[in-house]
Amino acid sequence: MFERTKDLRLSVIKQMELRASKFPDVISLAQGVPSFDTPSGIKRRIELALQKGVVSKYSLSPGLLELRELIEVKLAEDNMFYDFEKEIIVTAGSIEGITATLFAITNSGDEIIIPEPTYTSYREVITLCGCVPIFVGLNEEKGWSFELEKFEKAITPKTKAIFYCNPNNPTGTIYSREQLLGLAELAKKHNLFLISDEVYKDFTFARKEKIFSLAEIPELRKRVIRLFSFSKSYAMTGYRVGYLHCDESVTQEILKVHDSLVTCAPVISQYGAMGALEMAQKDVIFFNDEYLKRRDLICARLDKLKNIFSYVRPESAYYVFPKIIKKDFDFSSIEAPESFSFKFAFWLLEKAQVAVVPGVAFGPSGEDHIRLSFGRTEADINRAFDRMEKIFK
């Protein structure tokens, strides 16, 4: 019984949220949810679609043609050329796209390499697909960057893909062009797929240039499966809509799984996604500006707790991943799994009523860290840190 699910676990982030909900005055910096409401242009697009009565039926399995056409145009602006008819699939959020991709490209027992710390659900999806996640640690000393030698060492005949999140959740790292090209060389050498989850690509605090993607390189189009979600960039986490793209030889296989899993992405959300691409670019810029302010605020507040935390300043996303450098806390009253970061997170919740995510949830290198989300308002961030400063005194 439950052979397929016995090794799965509920996301630690959700577990923390559940636990936190028992504290009436809790401030949560745990879940990665934007504090903003969905932009009004998107809502208006949905209202119009509802009025026209076009949302009640299934769309084509890969998604509404109009939406995919808009996605092709948007991708071309970013130097990525994909055919909307055969190479783009609208998915029910990026996690469904990831699931469909893994089911399509792997066989049971295959290994998937994931640089860690990274998004908690990757491990679960890989396990669900009957594959084995192989964690390769990122180098915190070098700003959570890749070390290609470690990847090469991790590759075995069973390796099918390298699966990374860029910008990375929870570290907020943007991988450089050189690092990514190095990864591409490895993938070519060992005939691997590269799965690139780019849901935070619209948030770049340094503002130098847009985030480079391996999907821009034509020679890699059969190897790189790129995923995007509307959840973060357009404050649409509840809509569950995203997309993936790759060469048609791969997407047509993924499409079969996508069709079996969900038939199509929710049509009402697809109209929302059209509104996002047509009208919400100004909102994305506004969100980016706000997250930049919040990033600076949360870093300033962390600087005041230098004896407790050290951290790498995030370049993107809305997370910071500080290391807990002070170890002598009294966790005797805390019932938590045998992990320092878990104990610390539970202790913080009880003592300060501040919810954070224990770093170990993001992979072995995440131990001794916590993830703080600055998707929350500045007031929430300040209140959470006021409380933390009090208990650390």
Partner 1 sequence: MKFFCKTILKYYLKYVTKIVLAIHRPTVVAISGSSNKTFIRDEIRKILEIQGKTVRANPKNFNTEIGLPLAILNIPSGYNSYRAWLPIIGKAFWAIFQKNFPEFLVLELGVSQKGDMRYLLSIIKPKISIICEINQRYIESFSGMDNLFLEYQYLARQTLQSGALILNYDNARVRNLSKKSRAQVEYFGKTKKTGIFQIEKIEKQENGQKFWLRHENEIQEFFTPRFGEHNIYAVTAGKVFEYILNFTKYEIS
* Binding footprint of partner 1 on the chain (CB under 8 A): 40-41, 43-44, 52-54, 65-66, 69-70, 72-73, 76, 81-87, 218-219, 221, 277-279
Put residue 275 in one of left, alpha, beta given phi > 0 → left and psi -120 to 50 → alpha: alpha
d(CA 138, CA 272): 36
Q: In the complex, what is the shortest distance from the CB of residue 252 to partner 1, in angstroms, rounded to a whole number?
A: 13
- CB-facing half-sphere around the CA of 341: CA atoms within 13 A: 24
Q: In the complex, what is the shortest distance from the CB of residue 83 to partner 1, in angstroms, rounded to a whole number?
A: 3
Give the Cα-Cα-Cα angle 140, 142, 146 (nearest 5 degrees): 85
Nearer to partner 1, 252 or 310 (CB): 252
Query: What would the two tokens of residue 286 be?
Result: 């506004």
Nearer to partner 1, 82 or 203 (CB): 82
Q: What is the DSSP string of 211-279?
A: PP-GGG-GGGTTTEEEEEEHHHHTT-GGG--EEEE--HHHHHHHHHHHHHHHSSS-HHHHHHHHHHHHH
101 and 254 Cβ atoms separated by less than 8 Å: yes
| Residue 389 DSSP SS3 | helix
Query: What would the two tokens of residue 278 be?
Result: 């047509």
Q: In the complex, what is the shortest distance from the CB of residue 41 to partner 1, in angstroms, rounded to a whole number?
A: 5
Q: In the complex, what is the shortest distance from the CB of residue 50 to partner 1, in angstroms, rounded to a whole number?
A: 12
Q: In the complex, what is the shortest distance from the CB of residue 286 to partner 1, in angstroms, rounded to a whole number?
A: 14
Nearer to partner 1, 217 or 308 (CB): 217
Q: In the complex, what is the shortest distance from the CB of residue 81 to partner 1, in angstroms, rounded to a whole number?
A: 5
210 and 78 Cβ atoms separated by less than 8 Å: yes
d(CA 354, CA 344): 11
Q: In the complex, what is the shortest distance from the CB of residue 287 to partner 1, in angstroms, rounded to a whole number?
A: 17
d(CA 340, CA 88): 43
Give residue for tokens 């619209």. Answer: 202
Nearer to partner 1, 219 or 303 (CB): 219
